[in-house]
Structure 1
Amino acid sequence: MLTLSLATLFTLAILLGGGVWIAFALLGTGWIALTGFTSFEVGPILASDFWGASYGWDLTALPMFVWMGEILFRSGLADNMFRALSPWLNRLPGRLLHSNIIGSGLFAAVCGSSAATCATVGKMTLPELERRGYDETLAIGTLASASTLGLLIPPSIMMIVYGVVTEQSISRLFMAGVGPGLLLLALFMIYLVIWSLTAGRNGGAGHAETPMPFLDKVRNSWRLIPLLVLIGGILGSIYGGVASPTEAAAVGVVLSMVIARFNGHFDKSIFLESMFAGLRTSCMIAFIIAGASFLSSAMSFTQLPTQLASAIAAMGLSPNVLLVMLTLFLLVLGCFLDGISLILLVTSIIMPLINAAGIDPIWFGIYLVIVVEISQITPPVGFNLFVIQGLTGKNIFTIAKATLPFFLLMLFAIVLMRAFPEIVLYLPQAMTG
């Protein structure tokens, strides 16, 4: 078992380190494992896994949600959110810095992409916050961290990928992400309030805006109506049992086109740009899923996961100790892999350990998504750091330093989820109960 484990890890490290595409690295590792340590024919297994990973109905939701995010990315929705939220945040400690957190949470609820959320909201909020005298470090930190919620707050591309690979209910995963998503939003906002009250100068929270009459605030909030309709159309149809995630994704695409047209940001060129951008992203993800499926099958034929699970079980590690070790391992791995690759690689090898430890697979899926969120703000391969760097021109390690408090808050959220698993499991259990 040790020889096979080292050979697998060494092969994967060499391929990834050599710049080989993730999908090909997974395929190559699985191929070597099968040919070197089993007597099975590789061709039939490869063909079967590629077909099995590509025809699933649940997977159809993935390109639809990706396309929806690309449309909203070009729709001007972030501008409307900022203008609607600003008057309500003027008296809250931290003021408009909360617009990064709330705006990212709202946009994440309809986008599903961390990078798209970061870029879309950041293009609007960062220049405005800088112009109004807000602390740049905190503005960058709140944006980079809160935009990771695009992976957690449903609909989430990561949850679809995890659900397809592990054969878990995507609807239940979506519901399980609501509680942790709200928890992270609350933790971020509470930290921002405390920081602003204790750091002096209102925490670098800029200049107070001219107060707006209550009725004017209400009138200005109409800009949020299209967003709320979109969220309600997607999540309401799923949670109400009216539509599957795939059907809800199709509804979301149509509604996003209507919203973009309503905002005056939708024409033939935007339609084609968003469609082809979504197609490229979806093909990349689908190819990685197929490669991960083949690697997972190869590992099953070599019996490595079963032997590894047995070895760890023999060590007598408690589930909590296992999660601590796994978190450290995933944080290191997340420094070098993107989120989807991390999820697919982990589920290919580690799920037998999770099942053996008695950890709920729905809970583990949400835990895994949060760890992936953390990796989005961890150098050297933190995608959100690259997005912010493109928006601000700042050094990537300067940006990473700004996200450190929120990095720790995400780890704290995992601790709370472990201590109170109902944060994750209450809604899914209520759905099935």
Structure 2
Amino acid sequence: MDPYQISLFVMFLVIVTLGSGIWIMASLLIVGLVSQWVISDFSLLKMGTISATIIARNSMSWELSAIPLFIWMGELLFRTKLSVAMFEGLTPFVNRIPGRLLHTSVLGSTMFAAVSGSSAATTTTVGRITVNELIGRGYDRSLTIGSLAGAGTLGLLIPPSIILIIYGVMAEVSIIRLFAAGVFPGLMIAFLYGSYIVIRALINPDIAPKRHETYSAGDMGAAFLKLLPVIVLIFIILGSIYSGLATPSEAAAIGLAATLIITLALRQLTWDVFYTSLNSAVKVSAMITSLVVCAAVLASSMSYVRLPQSIAEIIVQLNPSELQLIMLLMAFYIFLGLFLDGTSVTVMSLPITMPIVIAAGIDPIWFGIFLVIMIELSQITPPVGFNLFLLQSLTGDSLPKVALAAMPFFFLLCLGVAILYVAPGVATWLPDYLYGD
């Protein structure tokens, strides 16, 4: 088969398997095995041997052990009162900023993202606290929902990010460097969100009710104490990683132990919280790791059938500039994000896009951050924007209404990509500074 035929055949398989409604992990295996059988003419024995070897090797990946630990930590915070205390602690500090409590969604999501690594956990946890509270106090409903939809995606970018762990494993890139690379872009996007809220509040002060509360120095000190448990967790996790004392997997174990100790010391760790959080973490972790392992089979199959090389040949024939290639990749990922969740987008696309990115000389660390922002976009784009579904269930609003509220934050994420392209050092400076070029 020529490059076009190979690409069309694999694309047809993907559309048929995903359209049939079967599990995505099964779809990955079917596409990989059928491609090997039809294009490479492998025997069933050879395909079985190759697949079994790949599954065994990837199932024992030490880096993947961080995923269930970070997920369990986020589940524990979600089911205790630490998240509520975080919201109460932030309130006095945003009281004088235009937009006032609207900033708690952005700041709360930023802080929670630094201990959970999950967009869904960030959106759900912060949303349950802020949405009804802000709307009930008279804050603009659309901006309340939209700001949370955008800020919830920060759980994908700000370390410890589960998507960055998956990317690091699949792309064979240092996860520690990826975590460092995600810090400034995550803070940059949070700053863009906060700035947008400030501008909206200055243009139309009615988006926030008139300020009545005043806070003394004692109130500010009490608020800081409520923030302290989460701040301590952030310091323990990220400090142990960036100081070189622990790998991401070891830091996940340390962070989980610290979370258990803190919740136990505050008398919030009941048997019910322990069991339900662990049960949920096991289910989510099994789903994610199964996708990663099956994606490894797909990646190997795509290598055997030369799909990345075929697409690379097509792109070479187009002779795009670096900017044009980035624009093509943006369009590709936005399109995938319309129909797939972030984890699925990552594991299905990397076997195809990673060889192209490497061949084009694009820094894989920078590309990892670019990819995560693209996945953030998919979280707030219908019809399969997962954050939109979460907010629909929290607010009772229709999906089109929630999507319209999130639209400004979609464009703010696009602005973040533009800044990242013009100033790549936003992502690459910190890992280079901490760990050398």
Q: TM-score range by the shorter chain?
A: over 0.9
Kept in 1: contact 2:338–2:384 (CA 8 A): yes
Change over 3 Å in CA distance of 1:203–1:173 after alignment to 2:
farther
Q: Is the CA contact (8 Å cut-off) linking 1:101 and 1:188 kept in structure 2?
A: yes
From 40, 43, 47, the counterpart of 1:42: 47
Q: Report 1:208-287 matches (<5 A).
A: 208-287=211-290
Aligned to 1:5: 7
How big is the shift at 1:39? Answer: 2.9
Q: Alpha-carbon deviation of 1:29? A: 0.3
Q: Which amino acid is 1:73 matched to?
A: F
Q: Summarize the alignment of residues 90-109 of structure 1 with structure 2, pairs less than 5 Å apart.
A: 90-109=95-114
- The residue number in structure 2 matching 1:18 is 20
**Kept in 1: contact 2:237–2:254 (CA 8 A):** yes
User: TM-score, normalised to structure 2's length?
Assistant: 0.97
Match of 2:32 in 1: 30
> 1:173 aligned to 2:175?
no
Aligned pairs, number: 431
- After TM superposition, give the deviation of residue 263 of structure 1 in Å: 4.1
* 2:54 maps to 1:52: no
Q: CA deviation at 1:431?
A: 1.9
Name the stretch that deviates more: 167-176 or 79-88.
79-88
Query: After the TM superposition, which residues 292-331 of structure 1 pair with which residues of structure 2 at under 5 Å, given as runs?
Result: 292-331=295-334
Contact 2:105/2:151 (<8 A) preserved = yes
Q: How far apart, in 1, do the equivalents of 2:266 and 2:391 lie?
A: 25
Partner residue in 1 for 2:416:
413
The one-character-per-residue Cα deviations of 1:87-141 (angstroms, maximum 9, x if unpaired) are: 1211110010000000110011101111111111111111211221100100000
SS in 1 for 2:153: helix
The Cα of 1:242 is off from its aligned counterpart by 0.3
Q: Take 2:318 and 2:266, find their aligned partners in 1: how far apart are those partners?
A: 59
Shift of the alpha carbon at 1:396? 0.8
Alignment of 1:143-158 (within 5 A): 143-158=148-163
Question: Structure 1 residue 258: deviation in Å?
Answer: 2.3
1:74–1:265 contact (8 Å) kept in structure 2: no
> Equivalents in 2 of 1:266, 1:20: separation in Å?
38
**Are 1:66 and 2:68 an aligned pair?**
no
User: What is the letter of the counterpart of residue 72 of structure 1?
Assistant: L
Question: Would you say the 8 A contact 2:31–2:298 is kept in 1?
Answer: yes
Please tell me whether residue 76 in structure 1 is matched to residue 81 in structure 2: yes
Structure 1 residue identity aligned to 2:391:
I
Residue 368 of structure 2 corresponds to residue 365 of structure 1: yes
Q: How far, CA to CA, are the matches of 1:57 and 1:210 in structure 2?
A: 50
Equivalent residue runs for 1:390-429 within 5 Å: 390-429=393-432
* Contact 1:75–1:259 under 8 Å retained in 2: no
- 218-227 or 21-30: bigger deviation: 218-227
- Structure 1 vs Structure 2 CA RMSD: 1.1
Structure 1 contact 84–221 (Cα < 8 Å) conserved: yes
Q: Which residues in structure 2 correspond to 1:119-158 (within 5 Å)? A: 119-158=124-163
**Distance 1:135-1:105 versus aligned 2 partners, 3 A rule:** same
Q: Secondary structure at the match of 1:175?
A: helix
* 2:341 aligned to which of 338, 342, 350: 338
On the 8 A contact 1:94/1:205 being kept in 2, the answer is yes
Partner of residue 89 from structure 1, selected from 71, 94, 98: 94
Instruction: Give how far 1:77 is off.
Output: 1.9
Distance 1:209 1:376 in 2: 36
Q: Which moved more, 1:244-253 or 1:202-211?
A: 202-211
State the one-letter code of the partner of 2:300.
S
Instruction: String of CA shifts for 1:401-422, please: whole Å, max 9, x gaps.
Output: 0011110010010010010000
Moved more, 10-19 or 262-271: 262-271
Which moves more between the two structures, 253-262 or 72-81? 253-262
Distance 1:175 1:81 in 2: 24
User: Residues 326-377 of structure 1: CA distance to partner in whole angstroms, max 9, x if unpaired?
Assistant: 1111111101101001011111111111011111001000100011011101
Structure 1 runs (4+) deviating above 2 angstroms are 258-265
Q: Distance in 1 between matches of 2:314 and 2:11?
A: 17
Contact 2:7 2:310 in 1 (8 A): no
Name the CA distance, whole Å, in 2 between partners of 1:64 and 1:423: 28
What is the deviation of 1:203? 4.1
Tell me which amino acid in the other structure corresponds to 1:50.
Answer: I
Structure 1, unpaired ranges of 5+: none
Q: CA–CA distance in 2 between the matches of 1:386 and 1:104?
A: 17
User: What residue identity is the alignment partner of 1:162?
Assistant: Y
What SS does structure 1 have at the residue aligned with 2:59?
Answer: coil
C-alpha contact (below 8 Å) 2:6/2:310 kept by paired residues: no
Paired with 1:293 and 1:119, the residues of 2 have a C-alpha distance of 30
TM-score of the pair, normalised by structure 1: 0.98
Distance 1:260 1:396 in 2: 36
Q: Is contact 1:367-1:414 (8 Å) kept?
A: yes
With 209-218 and 138-147 compared, the bigger mean Cα shift is at 209-218
Distance 1:262 1:377, change over 3 A: farther
1:209 and 1:122 map into 2 onto residues whose CA distance is 24
Say if 2:4 and 2:310, in contact at 8 Å, map to a contact too: no
How many percent identity over aligned positions? 44
